[in-house]
């Protein structure tokens, strides 16, 4: 087997985002601008997926979560859904070599049983094949909806309480987290949305509470390595405070004691 390409971290002015999540939006608009059918944009979007996955893996990003299909996307015309599902299936087969080469572990996130049998089968095969890889975790959010995830968690919490397996007085943030689809993967640090929309569209509502948001006007098919690097450099310049007073603690204490 060929050795995995060396991990090369970019030089940054600040921290590196260990977990990047992306709302890959604007495939349709990108195609419409070129007077092409929407599927043309979805196909070009697959190229961006390939490039961003490879580039993240080679930079040593720990987790990459791509919003590929939402629970609400089932409302789209049947023809578009089946084109998307076919592209998903082809991607899962074609990219296996690339995933293996880069040590990527792939995993589905969402109501995966909603997927057509053929796509689900290829997803499971790819998960199994890449399951022992110790490089980047690539989570594909498929038939994913954050509200559904939270409702399913609430239902399971209620069942566990009813069975006496869970004490309601002990439920806290971490308890609820343990009922989510993938409780062990740390929260995203950087959440990118392409095509300019300033909304989350039901993506990782719980997990993105403190993610740094980055919205670009570029459509997903135009989002390649250079745009990814731009977003990572922008992230490195952010000051994350998580509600605290990072770097200001002494100043505040000083003012307080001077006034006393
Ligand atoms: C993102 O592109 C792909 C999916 C949601 C599956 P869109 O298909 O939403 O493209 P726009 O937003 O219509 O341009
Ligand atoms: C969000 O994009 C879902 C995915 C990228 C898979 P949408 O295009 O579905 O979101 P809205 O409809 O603009 O909110
Ligand atoms: Mg869209």
Domains, the chain, ordered by start: 19-146+186-236 (3.40.1180.10)
The residue to mutate among 23, 24, 26, 43, having the most atoms of ligand 1 within 8 angstroms of its beta carbon, is 26
Q: Which atom of ligand 2 is nearest to the CA of 73?
A: 9
Cα 70 to ligand 2 centroid, rounded to whole Å: 7
Q: Is 120 in the pocket of ligand 1 (CB under 6 A)?
A: no
Active site residues: 25, 73
Cα 236 to ligand 1 centroid, rounded to whole Å: 28
DSSP three-state, residue 105: strand
pTM: 0.95
Please name every residue paired with 245 in a beta bridge, in sequence order, or none if there are none.
none
CA distance 180 to 153: 6
- Per residue in 114-157, pLDDT (tens digit) is 999 999 999 999 999 999 999 999 999 999 999 999 999 999 99
Of 194, 179, 181, whose CA–CA distance to 227 is shortest? 194
Q: Which atom of ligand 2 is nearest to the CA of 201?
A: 14
Cα 220 to ligand 3 centroid, rounded to whole Å: 10
Q: How many CB atoms lie within 10 A of CB 260?
A: 5
Least confident of 1-5, 129-133, 225-229: 1-5
Q: Which atom of ligand 1 is nearest to the CA of 31?
A: 14
Give every CB contact of residue 39 below 8 A, 6+ residues apart in sequence: 31, 80, 83, 87
Nearest alpha carbon, ligand 2 atom 12: 201
pLDDT at residue 250 is higher than 80: no
Report the mean per-residue pLDDT for the chain: 95
């Amino acid at each position: 087997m060929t050795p995995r390409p060396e991990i090369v971290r970019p030089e940054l002015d600040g921290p590196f985002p260990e977990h990047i999540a992306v709302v890959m939006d604007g495939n349709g608009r990108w195609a419409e601008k070129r007077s092409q059918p929407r599927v043309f944009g979805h196909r070009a979007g697959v190229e961006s997926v390939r490039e961003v996955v490879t580039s993240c893996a080679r930079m040593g990003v720990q987790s990459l979560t791509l919003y590929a299909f939402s629970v609400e996307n089932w409302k789209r015309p049947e023809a578009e859904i089946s084109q998307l599902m076919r592209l998903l299936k082809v991607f899962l087969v074609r990219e296996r070599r690339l995933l293996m080469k880069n040590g990527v572990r792939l995993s589905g996130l969402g109501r995966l049983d909603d997927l057509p049998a053929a796509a689900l089968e290829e997803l499971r095969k790819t998960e199994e094949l890449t399951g022992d890889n110790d490089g980047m975790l690539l989570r594909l959010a498929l038939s994913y909806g954050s509200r559904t995830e939270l409702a399913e968690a609430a239902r399971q919490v209620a069942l566990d309480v009813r069975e006496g397996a869970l004490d309601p007085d002990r439920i806290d943030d971490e308890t609820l987290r343990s009922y989510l689809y993938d409780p062990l993967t740390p929260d995203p640090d950087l959440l990118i949305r392409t095509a300019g929309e300033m909304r989350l569209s039901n993506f990782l509502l719980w997990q993105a509470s403190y993610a740094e948001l980055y919205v670009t006007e570029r459509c997903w098919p135009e989002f390649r390595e250079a745009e990814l690097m731009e977003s990572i450099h922008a992230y490195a310049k952010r000051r994350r405070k998580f509600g605290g007073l990072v770097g200001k603690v002494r100043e505040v204490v000083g003012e307080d004691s001077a006034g006393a």
